[in-house]
């Protein structure tokens, strides 16, 4: 049992955080974060990049050597092997995330489905891969999920289409269950989320009887999601299965608020950041209260949230590396959290997005936009990179 004190956790230890990064890697990361911190550049750059890719300008190599290199593992699973090993050297595990987004054809859903099954196969033979993951809109049409969420009547073709989505979800969860691999179901926009939640609940009921295999995602920037977590747990308890809960704040705040405003319904988002923070912490506490029956993943780049969870494990005498508890971050972000937590013996996993450059652009634009926010993650990333560069200079 590993009960290292959280007092020894130092998220400012840049030596541990950037151990796998060469001086050149650090310089590149510095310029990249400097670039994405410019709101103007991202606003102008996003449509220009899309346009250039669409008309076939040869900019893929530029993207691949800059933003893609920072946030993605490679174009294929094989291509990710070096990045997986690099994380592994710091005791950080990988979540292979096939990040193709915005596709809309049955052929592309089938292709994504097959690719996710390949990630399950890779996880079975590689202990450095701790979870699989899928985004429901990678397996089925967004508009169909929205129609079901809105309780609209489906045509016969649409009913068949929905059966195919559920089939793909079930086959992935079943493969994970048979291979003893945990699988995360990502959360998306609120107007398709009830349908996703229904599928996730069905999968958990089927595959989480012995232990948490399937994890649904709870976005605590929604004011109703702490209640959903509690209701799902009550149902799981009644039906005697384990709940899998990935706890995040949520990635679609602006779009949620805009849509609610446009359509004239109350926004599902908390009134302010403090509201999201409070419910995030309460959700973590709730999962810890029932940790014998809940698999918890804290997906966050927030230092206070990471400290809260580490502190609570110590206060409650829970082992740091209990298999039911994972911290998780995204590749290329918050390495100071990931590697310092792993170095202190906590379970840590990082999403490693991969896929063809053009297809992962929506994911990369989201990361870039997230990093432009004033006082947001970028200034923190930049100050840590500078700190490490100065530390290395002094050592020479
Ligand atoms: C491993 C991992 C998995 C993830 N999976 C998903 C997923 O499946 N679905 C998903 O939607 N997101 C997902 N995310 C993204 C996540 O939801 C957050 O957008 C991101 O991590 C930033 O939040 P934070 O907790 O790291 O930190 P912070 O920087 O402290 O919080 C920023 C977040 O706080 C919230 N916020 C900011 N301002 C306000 C405001 N004025 N009012 C209310 N809330 C506010 C927003 O959610 C914002 O993203 C994932 C993140 C990680 C690390």
Q: Is the pLDDT at 57 greater than 80, yes or no?
A: no
Instruction: Measure Cα distances from 113 to 102, 118, 185, 220, 285 in Å.
Output: 15, 9, 13, 28, 34
Candidate from 183, 249, 338 with most ligand 1 atoms within 8 A of CB, to mutate? 249
Tell me the pLDDT band of 371, cut-offs 50, 70 and 90.
Answer: low
Is residue 364 within 8 A of residue 16, CB to CB? The reply is no
Beta strand residue intervals within the chain, DSSP E: 93-98, 129-134, 182-185, 214-219, 243-248, 294-299, 325-330, 348-354
Top-confidence range, 18-27, 211-220, 368-377: 211-220
Residue 268 reports pLDDT greater than 70: yes
CA distances (Å), origin 140, targets 99, 144, 184, 379: 14, 8, 17, 37
**pLDDT reported for residue 5:** 64
Three-state SS for 59? coil
- In the prediction, which pLDDT does 39 show? 67
pLDDT score of 166: 98
Cα 380 to averaged position of ligand 1 atoms, centre (Å): 16
Give the C-alpha separation, 175 to 190, whole Å: 28
Inter-CA distances, 144 with 150, 204, 217, Å: 10, 23, 20
pLDDT beyond 70 at 382: yes
What's the CA gap between 340 and 338, in Å, rounded?
Answer: 6
Tell me the C-alpha distance between 370 and 380, whole Å.
13
Please report, rounded to a whole number, the percentage of residues in the chain having pLDDT higher than 90. Answer: 78
Q: What is the pLDDT of residue 269?
A: 98
Q: Which residue has its alpha carbon closest to ligand 1 atom 32?
A: 249
Contacts of 126 (CB under 8 A, 6+ apart): 84
- For every residue of 327-344, DSSP letters joined together read EEEETTS-HHHHHHHHHT
Task: Report the pLDDT value the prediction gives residue 2, as an integer from 0 to 100.
Answer: 62
Average pLDDT over residues 54-82: 86
Residue 381 and residue 389: Cα distance in Å, rounded? 12
Residues with CB under 6 A from ligand 1: 186-187, 217, 219, 221, 248-253, 269-270, 272-273, 275-276, 299-302, 305, 328-330, 351
Ligand 1 centroid from CA 387, angstroms: 26
Give 151's Cβ-side CA count (13 Å radius): 0
Is the pLDDT at 362 greater than 90, yes or no? no
- What is the pLDDT of the chain when averaged over all its residues? 92
Question: What is the position in ligand 1's atom list of the atom closest to the CA of 220?
Answer: 47
Closest CA to 95 of 64, 122, 68, 70: 122
Q: Using the mean position of ligand 1's atoms as its centre, give its distance from the Cα of residue 251 in Å.
A: 5
**Which one of 19-28, 41-50, 92-101, 242-251 scores highest in mean pLDDT?**
242-251
Cα of 7 vs centre of ligand 1, distance in Å, is 26
Per the model's pLDDT, the better-predicted residue between 351 and 104 turns out to be: 351
- Cβ 363 vs Cβ 320: under 8 Å: no
State mean pLDDT over 147-173: 98
Ligand 1 atom having least distance to the Cα of 301: 26
Q: Token pair of 286, please?
A: 């709730």
Pocket test for ligand 1, best of 92, 97, 248, 350 (most atoms within 8 A of CB): 248
Whether the CB-CB separation of 312 and 291 falls below 8 Å is answered with no
- Of residues 378 and 216, more confidently modeled: 216
pLDDT at res. 248: 98
Residue closest via CA to ligand 1's atom 30 equals 302
Can you say how many angstroms the Cα of residue 316 is from the centroid of all Cα atoms in its chain? Answer: 27
Find out whether 186 and 217 touch, Cβ atoms under 8 Å.
yes
Question: How close is the Cα of 38 to the center of ligand 1, in Å?
Answer: 20
Least confident of 61-70, 101-110, 286-295, 365-374: 365-374
Are 353 and 72 in contact, with CB atoms under 8 Å apart? Answer: yes
DSSP class of residue 8 equals G
Q: Do residues 136 and 198 lie in contact, with contact meaning Cβ atoms separated by under 8 Å? A: no
Q: What is the pLDDT of residue 374?
A: 45
In the reported structure, the alpha carbon of residue 303 is separated from the centroid of ligand 1 by a whole-number distance in angstroms of 13
State both tokens at 252: 């679609």
User: Could you identify the atom of ligand 1 that is nearest to the CA of residue 305?
Assistant: 25
Ligand 1 centre distance from Cα of residue 141 (Å): 24
Residue to mutate, 133, 192, 214, 250, ligand 1, most ligand atoms under 8 Å from C-beta: 250
Could you give the C-alpha distances from 252 to 187, 344, 354, in angstroms and in order?
A: 10, 32, 21
CA 339 to chain centre: 17
Residue 375 has pLDDT above 60, yes or no: no
What pLDDT, in 10s, does the model give residues 311-349? 999 999 999 999 999 999 999 999 999 999 999 999 999
Q: Whose CA is nearest to atom 44 of ligand 1?
A: 273
Between 64 and 227, the more confident residue is 227
CA–CA–CA angle 375, 380, 383 (5° rounding): 120
What's the pLDDT band for 3 if we cut at 50, 70, 90? low
Report how far residue 284's alpha carbon sits from residue 48's, in angstroms, rounded to the nearest whole number.
41
State which ligand 1 atom lies nearest to the alpha carbon of 248.
Answer: 17
Q: Is 271 exposed, middle or buried (0-12, 13-18, 19+ CB in 10 A)?
A: exposed
The packing angle between helices 377-395 and 361-372, to 10°, is: 80
Q: Residue written as tokens 């959360």? A: 187
Which has more pLDDT, 66 or 231?
231
Query: What would the mean pLDDT of 156-167 be, rounded to a whole number?
Result: 98
Q: So what's the pLDDT on residue 373?
A: 55
pLDDT > 70 in the chain, percent: 94
Q: Cα dist. 216→181, 343, 347 in Å?
A: 15, 27, 19
Taking the centre of ligand 1 as the mean of its atom positions, its distance from the CA of residue 395, in whole angstroms, is 37
Asked if residue 73 lies in contact with residue 79, where contact means CB atoms within 8 angstroms, the answer is yes
Q: Measured in angstroms, how far is the CA atom of residue 219 from the centroid of ligand 1?
A: 8
- Expressed in angstroms and rounded, the spacing between residue 146 Cα and the centre of ligand 1 is 22
């Amino acid at each position: 049992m590993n009960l290292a004190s959280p007092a020894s956790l130092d998220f400012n230890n840049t030596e541990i955080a950037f151990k796998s990064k060469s001086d050149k890697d650090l310089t590149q990361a510095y310029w990249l974060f400097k670039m994405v911190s410019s709101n103007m550049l991202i606003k102008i750059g996003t449509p220009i990049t899309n346009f250039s890719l669409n008309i076939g300008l040869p900019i893929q190599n530029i993207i691949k050597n800059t933003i893609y290199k920072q946030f993605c593992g490679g174009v294929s699973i094989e291509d990710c092997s070096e990045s997986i090993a690099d994380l592994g050297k710091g005791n950080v595990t990988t979540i292979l995330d096939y990040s193709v987004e915005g596709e809309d054809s049955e052929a592309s859903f089938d292709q994504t489905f097959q690719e996710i099954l390949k990630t399950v196969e890779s996880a079975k033979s590689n202990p450095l891969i701790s979870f699989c993951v899928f985004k429901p809109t990678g397996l089925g049409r967004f508009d169909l999920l929205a129609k079901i969420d809105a309780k609209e009547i489906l045509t016969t073709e649409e009913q068949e289409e929905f059966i195919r989505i559920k089939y793909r979800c079930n086959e992935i969860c079943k493969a994970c269950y048979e291979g003893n691999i945990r699988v995360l179901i990502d959360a998306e926009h609120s107007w398709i989320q009830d349908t996703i939640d229904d599928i996730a609940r069905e999968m958990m009921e089927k595959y989480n009887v012995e232990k948490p295999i399937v994890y649904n995602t709870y976005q605590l920037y929604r004011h109703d999601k702490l209640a959903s977590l509690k209701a799902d747990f009550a149902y799981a308890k009644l039906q005697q299965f384990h709940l899998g809960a990935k706890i995040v704040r949520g990635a679609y705040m602006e779009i949620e608020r805009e849509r609610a405003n446009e359509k004239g319904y109350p926004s599902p988002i908390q009134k302010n950041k403090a509201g999201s923070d409070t419910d995030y912490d309460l959700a973590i506490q709730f999962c810890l209260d029932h940790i014998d029956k809940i698999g918890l993943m804290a997906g966050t780049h927030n230092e206070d949230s990471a400290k809260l969870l580490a502190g609570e494990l110590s206060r409650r005498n829970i082992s740091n590396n209990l298999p039911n508890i994972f911290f998780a971050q995204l590749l290329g972000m918050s390495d100071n959290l990931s590697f310092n937590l792993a170095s202190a013996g906590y379970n840590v996993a990082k999403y490693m997005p991969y896929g063809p450059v053009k297809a992962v652009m929506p994911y990369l634009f989201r990361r870039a936009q997230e990093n432009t926010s004033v006082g947001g993650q970028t200034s923190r990333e930049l100050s840590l990179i500078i700190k490490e560069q100065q530390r290395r200079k002094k050592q020479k």
